[in-house]
Amino acid sequence: MQLLDRRTFMALSAATAATTLAGPARAANGRADIFTADLWGAAVDSAIIVGEESAVLIDAQLTVPNANRLADVIAATGKTLETICITHVHPDHHLGLAAIMDRFPDAKPVAHPLIQSQLSAAARWMLSTMSQGAEPGTFADRVVVPAPMTSNTIILEGERIEVLEPMHGDTDLLTAVHIPALDTLIASDFLYSDTHQWMAENTTPERLARWRASLDQLEAIGAGTIVPGHEGPGAVRDSSIFGTTRAYIDQWEAGLAETSNAEDLKASMLSGNEEKALEWVLDSSVAAVYPS
């Protein structure tokens, strides 16, 4: 499996602050607060599901500074962080877990067993590759491997948090999280809003078809609030993200068929997407097709 390359992150500059782009999803006895990383942290979304006394975290960020800011947001809720669920193997959703555990050592990190196996196998790679040449303090000095889940349901104060079976998204095995009480789907990297999408692991029609099939299954859930894996400045959190994500996949597939070099493929993908954040993600995707 091709993982995110540390060099793509090192090409960015630490610029914008972490943001919450929209109000939290709420239920009578809880809510979901969304923390969005700065561009240096790849604009990753983490969700804090907040109950009356306890909380659950979905995804743990990439860099230590963003993980620390996320930890500050969790602490500000005044709730006890019980569980941390990691949705997939990409380090931008996982590598910050060590910093989160430093702040909340009693929390239990977990992942679906198939995801946990991948995280365990990738731990040494993450530690050696991501930290190589990085400024001190950018990345954690260790990798925390979550425990395998024994059930696909996390219970927070009597409410179900459903960790869906892994499907194909921007990588082979990816879990989404459905919170029925909040009418919310934490879609992770099945969906992107106002950023370029990671297409480096989807360069054949068969794999793109599998991603579309996953989107069909997730859309059928009918959740009112949809939280993507990455958000840009113009991001939204509703079902329209399914359409914009599909449109990007369609444009990528057309570009693969109609171009024959990296320059033309990138140009075809920038058309209509000039304002999307994370252009380096597009560069990495193009490089997977046309290595330099």
Q: What is the pLDDT tens value at each position of the chain, 292 positions in all? A: 344 444 444 343 333 334 444 456 776 568 999 999 999 899 999 999 999 999 999 999 999 999 999 999 999 999 999 999 999 999 999 999 999 999 999 999 999 999 999 999 998 888 778 877 788 899 998 999 999 999 999 999 999 999 999 999 999 999 999 999 999 999 999 999 999 999 999 999 999 999 999 999 999 999 999 999 999 999 999 999 999 999 999 999 999 999 999 999 999 999 999 999 999 999 999 999 999 8
Does residue 156 contact residue 52 with C-beta atoms inside 8 Å?
A: no
Q: Say which DSSP state 40 is in.
A: G
Q: 209: Cβ–Cβ under 8 A, 6 or more apart, which residues?
A: none
- Give the pLDDT score at 46: 98
- Give the pLDDT score at 236: 96
Query: What is the C-alpha to C-alpha distance for residues 289 and 202, in angstroms, rounded to an integer?
Result: 10
- Does residue 259 lie in a domain region? yes
- Does residue 246 lie in a domain region? yes
DSSP helix/strand/coil, 225:
strand
Residue 191 domain boundaries:
6-289
- Does residue 258 lie in a domain region? yes
- Does residue 191 lie in a domain region? yes
- Give the pLDDT score at 15: 34
- Does residue 151 lie in a domain region? yes
Report the domain count for the chain. Answer: 1
- Does residue 1 lie in a domain region? no
Q: E strands along the chain, which residues?
A: 25-27, 30-36, 45-50, 54-58, 80-85, 108-111, 147-148, 153-156, 159-163, 177-179, 184-193, 225-231
Query: What is the C-alpha to C-alpha distance for residues 170 and 44, in angstroms, rounded to an integer?
Result: 14
- Give the pLDDT score at 138: 93
With b meaning 16 or more CB within 10 Å and e meaning fewer, what string describes 226-247?
bbbbbbbeebebebebbebbbe
Return the structure tokens found at 36: 């969005």
- Give the CATH number of the domain where residue 97 resides: 3.60.15.10
Query: What is the C-alpha to C-alpha distance for residues 288 and 292, in angstroms, rounded to an integer?
Result: 9
Does residue 88 contact residue 188 with C-beta atoms inside 8 Å?
A: yes
Element holding 132 (H helix, E strand): none
- Does residue 64 lie in a domain region? yes
**Percent of the chain having pLDDT more than 70?**
90
pTM, two decimal places:
0.92
